[in-house]
Structures are given as C-alpha cells and as structure tokens.
Chain A
Amino acid sequence: MTLTVDIPSAPPSRPRRTRRPGVASVTLVPAAIVLLLAVIGPLVVPYSPVDVVDRPDLLPGAAHWFGTDSAGMDVFSRTLAATRNNLLIGLITTVAATAVGILVGLLVGMNESRRGPLGFVARGVSRALDLVQALPAIVIGLVLIAFFGATIPSLTLALSVILFPNQARLVRTEVLRVRGEAYLDAARISGDSETTLIRKHVLPNSSWPALENASLVFGSAIVLTAGLGFLGVGLHPPTPEWGSMIAIGAPGAASGRWWSALFPAVALALTVFAVSGVGRRLFGDD
C-alpha cells in the first residue's frame, strides 16, 4: 500500500493544514497494526478458527482469551482470523470502487454536455448515479448478493458496485470545474490530443476528491461486509467474519453472554477508526 498520494496543484477547495510529522506517524500506527494482524493473524491463532474446539459458551479465561461462542468455537482465534477476510474485501473494494469511480466520473464529466448519442448516454449515466444514491446501501447489497452469491470475490464485486457511484459523482463534479480551466485550452492549442489531455491534465486535477474519500469508502465497505454477514447473507459460517460472528453472538448477548458478540464488534470498530486515521493523516481533513 503506497501512502504517498500526489495532491494536484490545481486550486484546492479549502486550505490544507500543514502536516506535523510527529503526530502524523502516530496516526498511522493503528492501521499498520491492523494490517499486520491481517497478514499474520491466521498463522498465529491458538485454535482452529473454523472448528469446534471446546465446550460452548465458556467465559473468557486463560485457555480461551475471548471465551468460546455458542457452538464451542474459540472467539479469539475467529476474531483474529476474520481480520484477513474483512480487510481483504475492504481493500479490494476500495481500490476497485475508486478506480471505476474515477473512470466513470471522467467519462461522464467530459461527455455530458456533448451532443449526439455519447452525450445522451453520459447524461443518462449521470442521472442513474444520482438515482442509486437514493437507495440505502444495505438494500442494494442484499439484492446484489442474491445475484452474485456470497463468496469473497462476489462480495467484493457487489460492494464495489454499491460504492463506486459516489466516487464517480465526486469526480464528475470536479471534472465539470476543471473543464473550464484555461490550462486545458493552452494544452489544446499546443496540439495535445483529447486523450492526452484527459490523461495528463484532467485526470490528475480532478481525481483528488475520490482519493480523499477513499478512507471513507474503506470504512463503508468493512461495515457493509459485516452488515451483510450480520443479516445472514454474507460469507457463510464457519468462515470467520466479524458480522456473522456478531450475529451468532447476538442471542447470547441478550441472555448475558456478552463475549462472543463484543470482541468482533470491537475489532470492527477499531479497524474503521484506524483507517479513518489514515484518511485524516493523508488529507488533513476532519
């Protein structure tokens, strides 16, 4: 993961805060820890994360740090092993949604006011992106899962479909602004083709809102994955996944056995916090 993002020199919409190196590196630590856990987690778990290892509903103790769930699986091993699944889906979704969003935003923004079929299609897509925004993400997620099935690649695909429209809209708005800039006319006069123009001038100057929003997309992707898992349509148990673990632990929490739902929930929240920390570090945004 490269953490250096080239901020284009086009006039930013708000003044950027100067970066304080000491504070900045501290905010990256949690994200680094989460990433490390995702990589080594499944290798260092004390018990098998997908098998029944002890009696059900054991309190957290020396043998089972986070206790066991209602089936008798070790909550610590499962929480740790799930980091990889949830993080993988989140990361790939973020990259895919941002890339597709930038591409669609560029195409729509550049062609929207054109005459002929191309302009018509671009305007149609632009309206469609607005319409998708009207629906709750979890609802679209439910339907797309019915359509793609519940495996890691299909969840990633479904979540990318849900999350790219917002990225595309952000880029489109910026393209519409950049399109009127004088440096584009200057490039045209000096003989750049339209493709070169888009690649060299429009793309770097209009994609930053989507990059800035990427940490938010990552957070949404992780929360949505877990939400679908919680509703029982995500990755099927016993595959370790935070959402389905919380769903399994929920009835227990109602009768006082808090541990099997609490630990995956805490892991989920900490991950989202860690990633939003990265977003703040990169863009100095609130």
Chain B
Amino acid sequence: MSALWSRNGWWVRRLAILPVHLLLFAVVVFFLVKLIPGDPVAVLSGGQRMTPEQYEAARASLGLTGTVFGQLGAFLVNTVTLDLGNSVLTGTSVLAEMGSRLPETVELAVMAMVVSSLVAVGLGFLVVLRPRNLVSRAVASYSRAAGAVPDFCLGVAGIFVFYSVLHWAPAPIGRYDTLLNPPPRTTGFPFLDALFSSDTALMGSMLAHLWLPVGVLVVAYAPMLVKLFIRSLDQAKNAQATKFRIASGASRRMVMVSIARRALPATVAMFGTIFGFMVGGAVVVEQLFAIPGMGEYAVQAVTRSDFVSLRGFLLIVGALSLLVFFLVDVVTMLLDPRRRPGVAVAGG
C-alpha cells in the first residue's frame, strides 16, 4: 500500500489540488465581478422606471439579495452544479451558449497549437544544429523579437494580402461558406463534425476559411515557442551528458536523441503557457474573422455590462486553463521525476 502511494502519490496529490484551485478561482471571480461598478438591475431595465417591488424581484432573480456570503454560497453551489445562470440581457442560458462557442475557440487554439509546435520543433532543431545557416539566423532573429508584431496586426495584414490582393483566402466571415448547411452536431467541434459527416464541399470550405486564422496565430505565437525551445535545447546540448556521449563515441543520432530527451520536459512545460497565449490570441482573431466563439461573447458581455455572462466566461476559460496546466504538470512530472513534489534532488 505504502509502495503504491509512494509510486503514485505525486499525481494523486496534484489531482487533489485541482478542485481546490478551481474553487479558489471561483471565489476570486465572484468578488471581482461583484466589484464592477454600476447597478446590474438598472442595466437590465434599460433605464425604465421600476416600482420598488419590481426592483426587489429583479434583484432576487439575479441572486443579488442577502448577505455577500449568502450570495457567494449560492453562487458556488450553482457553479458546482454547473448552473452558470442566464444572461442578464438576452435571458439565454450561459452554459448553453458556452457549449456552442467554446468548441469553436478551442478548436482554433488547438489547431494553431499543433501547427506551431511542429514548426517550433523543426526550426528549433535547425537553429541549434546548424547555427550558421542563413535560415537559422533569420529564424533566430525573428524569434528574438517575438511578440513585437501583435496577432491583430498580422491578421489585418493577412486579410489584406491573401484575401484582398491575392484572393487565396475567402472573405473573412465565419467558419465556412454562408450558403452551406452547418454540419450535423456530433462532437460540437465544427471541424470534427464536418470530418465525420463526409461532406467534402463543407470540409473544403472550412479548410479554406481556417488556414488564414490558424496561420496568423502560428506566425504570431510560434516565435515565442521557438525562443523557449531553442533555450532548452541549448541547455541540453551544452550539458555534461552530451559531452560524455560524444567522448564515448556515440553515433550522431544517439547524441541527438539524448539531447531531445533531456530538452523534452522543459518543452512540454511551455505548452501550458502557449495554450494560454493561443486562447487569448483566438479571442482576438475570432473578432477579425467573424468566428462566433468565446471572444465575441466576452466583448459583447463587456460592452453591455452583462455580469452573469462575463462571470460564466471567466469561469469557463479559467477552468480550461487550470485543466491544461494540470495536464502539463502531470506530463512533465511523468517525463522528469525530479519535478515531482516531495522529491529531494541532490545538489539541486
């Protein structure tokens, strides 16, 4: 039993802390949204005069009556039972709205993440192994300036060049041609649904609409990934272990594999960060390409001071990020036992 615990305790402990983080986050979100100035009831009524009874009824329906702690308790219970409330203005369920919008954003972010990791790994190896190559130099200096050209600038430039001048991309409106029918809903992720429905016209249209937004995210965020990857590869390359392998006459391929293996935990660890960047980037890019995702929803909620929607949005994005961080932590600990909690490292 104790052997089982000592072998598995690290991830069980990490898993147990996840709900605690989520709960803490929910409390923070509650108070943050509570601090927003302005009277939500006034927003709801649109400035119409209300009798005191109507006013009280509206407050009660928004969960604004009682003490702050009473409200917090009710909010937490609702959140745990996945009841995120209804939008103050449209009255639609926040959870249902999130259900249709979250997959759009996550799909975009994940696609961009996959492409940029492939790009980062390829270019990272190139730069570290052939530092004097012309391409490597260009890549290294672009990645050093990572983040100088923000995603929305690249997006506008991309639309201008590829839609307006070259006509390689369709009009930046939505996920697919407006004349086509939406795919039958099986997974909720539009691209996967189209893939499963074997509707080739829809599939082609989606690919045509997606390559530019995904490309924009990759060009905007891959440099950061490349920079981090080059750094961890460099560290692994200059380590004693590499010298030992070279000195003992290992083949070039084996030395390579050893460098990659030692750089891997640090590489995986940066995925949490890059996922955050991608979701943030997707929020902006959605706005540009008129994709009905989370970003559009949040911007609407902010401009209309719809506090229930805003709260739901924050909770969902926060839960998603915490989940990704959890997965990343577990994978890094799996790859590098020294990172597990409670492990004492000699000299480290």
Question: CB within 8 Å of B: which residues of A?
Answer: 127-128, 131, 133-139, 142-143, 145-147, 149, 219-220, 223, 226-227, 230-233, 243, 246-247, 249-250, 253-256, 258, 261-262, 265, 268-269, 272-273, 276, 286
Contacts and interface: CB of A to CB of B under 8 A. Distances in A.
A258 B163 CA distance: 12
B331 interface: no
| Interface of B (DSSP majority class) | helix
Nearest to A222: B150
Contact of A232 (B159, B301, B303): B303
Contact of A146 (B25, B310, B324): B310
Interface in B9-32: 21, 24-25, 28, 32
**9 smallest A-B Cβ distances: which pairs?**
A136-B280, A265-B153, A253-B160, A134-B321, A138-B280, A272-B148, A146-B302, A147-B36, A223-B150
A261 B158 CA distance: 12
Contacts of A147: 32-33, 35-37
B276 interface: yes
| Interface of A (DSSP majority class) | helix
A249 B299 CA distance: 19
Contacts of A262: 157, 160
Contact of A269 (B33, B148, B302, B321): B148
A231 B25 CA distance: 25
B299 A261 contact: no
A136 B299 contact: no
Contact of A220 (B147, B152, B171, B281): B147
Given A136-B279, A138-B284, A254-B159, A227 B318 contact: no
A232 B171 CA distance: 21
B299 A231 contact: yes
A269 B152 CA distance: 11
A93 B299 CA distance: 23
Given A146-B305, A269-B153, A258 B283 contact: no
A233 B279 CA distance: 18
Nearest to B287: A231
Contact of B280 (A139, A232, A256): A139
A233 B301 CA distance: 11
A286 B11 CA distance: 36
B153 A246 contact: yes
Contacts of B305: 146
B160 A134 contact: no
Contact of B156 (A223, A256, A261): A261
B302 A145 contact: yes
A262 B153 CA distance: 8
B156 A265 contact: yes
